[in-house]
Structure 1
Amino acid sequence: MAKKSAGILLYRLKSSDIEILLVHPGGPFWAKRDPQAWSIPKGEYDAGEDAYSAALREFEEELGAPCPRAVPIDLGEIHYSSGKRLVAWAMAGDFDPHELRSNMFEMEWPPRSRRIQEFPEVDKAQWFAMAEARGKILPAQRPFLDRLAEQLRRGGHSAPR
């Protein structure tokens, strides 16, 4: 069965542009990757677990702060070529990237060294203008940016004050 993940795309309006908060995965595999390596805060959830609740939990685990409370915008689901599924909601809010306090994970590094090291799940968080976010985000997640822009164009949603 395909793995399922849930995430939150945090956005704000600045100078008449939409800004998107993206996170950069920690660990040695991603250390020197930048374009098309950033993501929305997200994580896996189990069958029977509420996806939206999992998205809020993962936001807090990856950033070290609760997700700002706002009316969620359902961005639907995407499918990775691996078969993994990701469902996401957009939330208007703010987060100071200097306040990032990600949870940690362990892995053997370097490979076959038998040495276990600890790395942050997220090593950076940053706000990007929509155009720049398109070049930073993982290509499979790009439809979430398009869906958010379309929802905001149609109205009924606002950025935080």
Structure 2
Amino acid sequence: MPRLSSGILLFRREPELQVLLGHMGGPFWARKDEHAWSIPKGEHGPEEDALTAARREFAEEIGSASPAELIPLGVVKGSKTLTVWAAEGDLDADAVVSNTFDLEWPPRSGRVQQFPEVDRAGWFDLATARTKLVKGQLAFLDRLVDALA
């Protein structure tokens, strides 16, 4: 059974088309920037509706409810089957507050620490977003442009 994940790509049109991305939290991503940002998303089981999971994950990772109106951007299959919707909206990226996860760090230390799933968020024009977004999610930027055309 493939791992399932769902998310919401928030966009705004002013001053130009921009998308909100979250920088992945935790020690592995701490010093990475290029291809270390993600669409707010998360895993869910096959019994959970993908849209319900996308809304939940957006709220958990961004700290804000997702907009009501969503545009389906489809599915990309890779290491996970990722389903994404787009939503127009605007929020203060500096005010994003994410939930946390537990991780033994340093490895094999026996010490469990908490890290935010998203340690910061930012608005990016599409050209910049292509350098920030993890490669497996890049197709959603093109799908967003097509959906808005």
Aligning the two structures, in what range does the TM-score lie when normalised by the shorter sequence?
over 0.9
Tell me how far 1:62 sits from its aligned partner.
0.5
- Which amino acid in 2 is paired with 1:74? P
* Dislocated runs of 4+, deviation >3 Å: none
When normalised by structure 2's length, the TM-score is 0.97
8 Å CA contact retained: 1:109, 1:116: yes
Aligned-residue RMSD, C-alpha = 0.9
Unmatched 5+ residue regions in structure 2?
A: none
Tell me, in whole angstroms, the C-alpha distance in 2 between the residues paired with 1:121 and 1:131. Answer: 24
Tell me, in whole angstroms, the C-alpha distance in 1 between the residues paired with 2:120 and 2:67. Answer: 19
Please state whether the residue corresponding to 2:138 is helix, strand or coil.
helix
Give the match for residue 39 of structure 1. 38
Tell me how far 1:68 sits from its aligned partner.
2.3
Please state whether the residue corresponding to 2:11 is helix, strand or coil.
strand
User: What count of residue pairs does the alignment treat as equivalent?
Assistant: 149
When normalised by structure 1's length, the TM-score is 0.90
CA deviations 1:90-124 (Å, max 9, x no partner) are 00011211221110111100011111111111101
Residue correspondence of structure 1 range 130-141 to structure 2 within 5 A: 130-141=126-137
Tell me how far 1:49 sits from its aligned partner.
1.1
- Which amino acid in 1 is paired with 2:110? R
Please state whether the residue corresponding to 1:22 is helix, strand or coil.
strand
- Which amino acid in 1 is paired with 2:17? I
Residue correspondence of structure 1 range 121-136 to structure 2 within 5 A: 121-136=117-132
Bigger radius of gyration, 1 or 2?
Answer: 1
Deviates more, 1:28-37 or 1:95-104: 95-104
Give the match for residue 75 of structure 1. 73
Give the match for residue 7 of structure 1. 7
- Identity score, percent: 52
8 Å CA contact retained: 1:107, 1:117: yes
8 Å CA contact retained: 2:94, 2:122: no
Unmatched 5+ residue regions in structure 1?
A: 154-161
Give the match for residue 99 of structure 2. 103
